[in-house]
Structure 1
């Protein structure tokens, strides 16, 4: 779980460009294929940015996250959207959704494929027939050990990312935030790369049809990503 300090830094220093960029792509995709979504659920919703984008398009959006700190910020940002704290491995609401999303490599925090299997089984249970489950997972080529990557959030706020691998094959993402040259915060987050073919097989096992597994979301995208985007339909 993210620390409370990281949640505040995440919101304050503008990590929102990830869900903002995907949210615009998702709306473009929905409109392009004339897909009607009445209710959506964002797993591992963070501070709720994607939910806000979908709600702005007239969708009854909701979100859940394991982090109480993230959900607290999400509720403060938009109290009209339904948010709850839960573990997506065991999360199984009674209501049905037309669209379920899980982005920002949130599923790479799930270390075991057995738990991924449980998540897919649960999503299948609360996804409406014909509904879509859309998520991304890391491509192994995206996370090699590398020199620190510097990113400017503003003239005064900078972040540095460092990727390392431990002996067990897990990935450590070290994030350090600086303001006016002074270190404000540091967080180490563990993830693991899952084989995309194994993930797609688990989807099929749980009643999904995999419609897309590619390094781009929109067909006319000029910039391909090293992330796998997976579109599955029940």
Structure 2
């Protein structure tokens, strides 16, 4: 695989890690008007993300083994964007509906967090296994590819956490950030699909084996040498 395609895959993992951690930070803010901002809320948000990521890793690993193509990865990123749209449209109503059930705040917060963030986190969790499968060209490179990609993805998550909590919530607010997350994911999917085709021209091709001379060619060459 050429360098351009590798960069595309690393960038995809980085951007999805950024978005995922940004959504996790927003989760606590979204639930706080109805459930407060205590340990139950943050425990629910973190727990939902951890569970859904584990599901995403499992599903993404199996799908990438069956359908190892960049189309599958791009579709996964688009599905992640689509799953954020209902949250952006109705997050106050969803949170309020679970609050009105009269459950203890720990269970209400857990159910509300699951309803809003389970699917986005599953799709985002599927990205890393897909990228690793596409990056891996031989068994000897699996460890190196996985380690590098998870490092890049985690750096993206760190920056998404800091940028969202320190700046974006103050500058844009929850609603705008959710739509920004959708837009970023769609842009990443388009860039991945388009860039994959562009960098195909630079992909290394196997050299053709040298053609063995046939018997006629050998005899002609010998005759020419004799005439000299």
Please say whether Structure 1 and Structure 2 have the same fold, judged by a TM-score greater than 0.5: no
Structure ranking higher on relative contact order (CA contacts 8 Å, 6+ apart): 2
TM range (shorter): under 0.3
